[in-house]
């Protein structure tokens, strides 16, 4: 069965610092990749997605992610975080051969100190 | 467009009782999914409806869980009888038919506590 690993459970950083969250998955076939974010008290929102094409994808709020097929990775980055980026971030993978279901990583809680 | 809605937002029940969770997908979304997050662990897939049909129920933990989507609109997830390990947040998501099916929109979740 496929699995998704997020390397950090908790990240604490100051405003204006750069953020990178790691995500690796364990399936070798065709995948769709996603990052979701859950702000405090809110529901899961799609941050960005990769289906095909340019492996560097840009999402909302200045986030981007890079798909590196050889490393089975889809890391999320933001050059300069804001206090409002405090949230929990989830990497998710859809294995095309297995239908529409998403397999999620364990989530990373990010706290940005003002 | 209105988002995915779930009811109730919280439910506290005793072990052995029955609870029914409801999800209303975004209008026009044929695909409806249930997920669960237990004890701060990863969010796990439970099942997938296409309209009123169960497309994939590989994630349902056992036969105490029953999901329905009569008429292909809203869905219910019943847990009967509830056990302590069923506590967690139950998320519903929906997606469009066709090419948009992979992009899922999530509801706010129902936090279930079994005591």
Interface A-B, measured as beta-carbon pairs within 8 A, has a size of 56
Query: What residue has token string 């949230």?
Result: A87
Smallest Cα distance from A101 to chain B, Å: 7
| Burial class (CB within 10 angstroms; exposed 0-12, middle 13-18, buried 19+) of B59 | middle
pLDDT at B113: 98
Contact B103 A106 (CB under 8 A): no
Peptide bond into B81 cis (omega under 30): yes
Q: How far apart, in whole angstroms, are the C-alpha atoms of residue A37 and residue B26?
A: 19
Cα dihedral A69→A76→A19→B111 (10° resolution): -140
Say which range, A24-28, B41-45, B81-85, has the weakest mean pLDDT.
A24-28
Tell whether the model's pLDDT for residue B112 goes beyond 90: yes
Q: How far apart, in whole angstroms, are the C-alpha atoms of residue B9 and residue B67?
A: 18
pLDDT digits (tens, 9 = 90+) for A61-108: 999 999 999 999 999 999 999 999 999 999 999 998 888 999 999 999
Contact B107 A107 (CB under 8 A): no
| Residue A59 touches partner B, C-beta closer than 8 Å | no
pLDDT at A98: 86
Tell whether the model's pLDDT for residue B1 goes beyond 80: no
Contact A45 B106 (CB under 8 A): yes
Residue predicted with more confidence, B85 or A7? B85
């Amino acid at each position: 069965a496929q699995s998704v690993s997020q390397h950090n459970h908790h990240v604490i950083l100051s405003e204006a610092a750069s953020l990178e969250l790691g995500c690796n998955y364990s399936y070798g076939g065709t995948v769709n990749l996603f990052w979701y974010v859950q702000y405090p008290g809110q529901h899961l929102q799609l941050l960005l997605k990769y289906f095909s094409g340019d492996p560097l994808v840009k999402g909302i709020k200045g986030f981007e992610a890079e798909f590196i097929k050889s490393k089975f990775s889809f890391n999320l980055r933001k050059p300069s975080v804001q206090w409002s980026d405090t949230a929990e971030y989830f990497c998710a993978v859809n294995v095309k051969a297995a239908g529409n279901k998403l397999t999620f990583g364990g989530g990373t809680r990010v706290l940005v100190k003002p | 467009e209105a988002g995915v809605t779930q009811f109730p937002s919280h439910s506290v029940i005793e072990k052995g009782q029955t609870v029914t969770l409801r999800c209303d997908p975004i209008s026009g979304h044929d695909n409806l999914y249930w997920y669960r997050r237990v004890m701060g662990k990863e969010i796990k897939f439970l099942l997938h409806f296409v309209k009123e049909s169960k497309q994939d129920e590989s994630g349902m933990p056992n036969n105490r869980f029953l999901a329905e989507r009569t008429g292909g609109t809203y869905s219910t997830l019943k847990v009967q009888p509830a056990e302590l390990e069923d506590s967690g947040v139950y998320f519903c998501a929906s997606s469009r038919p066709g090419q948009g099916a992979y992009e899922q929109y999530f509801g706010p979740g129902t936090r279930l506590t079994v005591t």
